[in-house]
Amino acid sequence: MRLVNGLPADSLPLADRAIQFGDGVFRTIKLVDGGLAFWKRHYTKLCADCVALGIVPPEETDVLADIRTLLNRSGWRSATVKLIVTRGESARGYAIPPDIHPNRIAQIAPLPAYPSSLYRDGARVRLCNVRAGWQPALAGVKHLNRLENVLARQEWSDPAIQEGLLLDRDGHVLEGVMSNVLVKLDGQLVTPLLDGGGVAGVMREVALEAARRLGWPVAERALTLDELLRAERVWLSNSLIGLVPVSVLDAQRWNIDTHCALHHEMIHFENNEMTWLL
């Protein structure tokens, strides 16, 4: 179920620059029992990403009205919410017309049913052959051009593997195909610095704040593969899975902390940062 600029729709004009160039941004948000998890953070990042590309951000009231309309029509109380803002429509060519108007898309789908074993036993991951591109102007931005991720995801079909890790041009760990990466290394929570690429996810931000609340030292810096392999703990994060421990990467194995303080603190953050729509 989708809305485009507040109206029911199942398609975009072929002239939309999202179709032509991947020119736009998006966010994926978890809705649970009528509440949007970390809505303020998501909306802030959506607007920041729009500004980074020179797109006029949508009004918060309009986006929330879209989501409420979708919920009322579907009758759902829990869902995956995806928000897309495209630059709008233009003729052929990269130049941006001065009178262009962004298109706002809201859609909902069922929440994925992640098994409890994923959190109890951990995720199996692999290293991808595809390398993440380097472009500081887009670093951290969740833009619509995700071809690197598409190519990387094509590298495996084994359902026992939940995620692939992307290295950057220098061989440093950057992120997962669908997630951010965090490790506990020498007593410190470390996540790759996103100064040349990657997506700055909301749950990555929450994890860093939760770690600080726990009194853990925190660092955003280049992370080598050797450092990741000798880490005490490795986690994946995104807005739908939350925080998932990694148990296996190729031949490397990690023990799972079933009473992870970081995970519990992030749940506390989520409970305090719900925006209730129903």
CB 266 within 8 A of CB 22: no
Closest among 51, 111, 109 to 83, alpha carbons compared: 109
Cβ-Cβ contacts under 8 Å for 93 (sequence gap 6 or more): none
Q: Domains in the chain, please, with CATH? A: 2-109 (3.30.470.10), 116-272 (3.20.10.10)
Predicted confidence at residue 258, as pLDDT, reads 84
* Residue 218 half-sphere exposure toward CB, CA atoms < 13 A: 16
The single-letter DSSP state of residue 55 is P
Q: How far apart are CA 162 and CA 157, in angstroms?
A: 10
Closest among 89, 30, 10, 53 to 270, alpha carbons compared: 30
Is the full-model pTM beyond 0.75?
yes
In this structure, are strands 35-37 and 274-276 parallel, antiparallel, or unpaired?
Answer: antiparallel
Predicted confidence at residue 200, as pLDDT, reads 97
Crossing angle of the two packed helices 39-53 and 60-74, in degrees rounded to 10: 120
CB 184 within 8 A of CB 208: no
In this structure, are strands 233-238 and 103-109 parallel, antiparallel, or unpaired?
Answer: unpaired
* Grouped pLDDT means (10 residues each) for the chain, 278 residues: 96 96 98 98 98 98 98 97 98 94 98 94 98 97 98 97 97 98 97 98 98 98 98 98 97 92 97 96
